[in-house]
């Protein structure tokens, strides 16, 4: 089964095609840190900031546990693809950092719809 991980910004609208959507707006926002504002979740400093908080690390672990359980259930139904969307306010910081780490966990490449906005 093909796993797709994508990010988006809620302020630009939710993606039309997705199987699962996760909202990470509850995580600490690097946008409010002046030296991180112009960077994205693709930058190590932003990712390090996002994952420097216990709630980020805990949520990531719990999400991986959930997906590691549920993906084989979808495979039983012979699904060809599973699209996982992760959103934050602007789609540039938290969702991107989170999706990149999740993509590494599953050995796939994440797509970032709004990272350049």
Measure the CA–CA gap between 64 and 90, rounded to whole angstroms.
23
Query: Using an 8 Å Cβ cutoff, are 115 and 52 in contact?
Result: no
Helix (H) / strand (E) element for 85: namely strand 81-88
pTM for this prediction: 0.95
Instruction: Express each pLDDT in 13-38 by its tens digit.
Output: 999 999 999 999 999 999 999 999 99
Q: Which of 64, 51, 52 is nearest to 102 (CA)?
A: 64
What does the alpha-carbon distance between residue 111 and residue 63 come to, in Å, rounded to a whole number? Answer: 18
What is the SS3 assignment for 81? strand
Q: Inter-axis angle of helices 54-76 and 94-106, to 10 degrees?
A: 50
Q: What is the pLDDT of residues 56-86, one digit of tens each?
A: 999 999 999 999 999 999 989 888 999 999 9
């Amino acid at each position: 089964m093909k796993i797709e991980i994508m990010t988006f910004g809620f302020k630009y609208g939710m993606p039309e095609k997705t199987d699962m959507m996760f909202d990470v707006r509850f995580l600490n926002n690097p946008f409010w840190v002046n030296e991180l504002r112009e960077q994205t979740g693709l930058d190590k400093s932003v990712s390090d900031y996002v994952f420097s908080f216990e709630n980020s690390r805990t949520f990531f672990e719990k999400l991986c546990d959930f997906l590691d359980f549920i993906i084989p259930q979808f495979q039983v139904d012979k699904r060809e693809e599973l699209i996982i969307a992760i959103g934050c306010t602007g789609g540039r910081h938290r969702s991107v950092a989170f999706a990149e780490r999740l993509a590494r966990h599953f050995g796939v490449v994440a797509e970032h719809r709004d990272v350049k906005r």
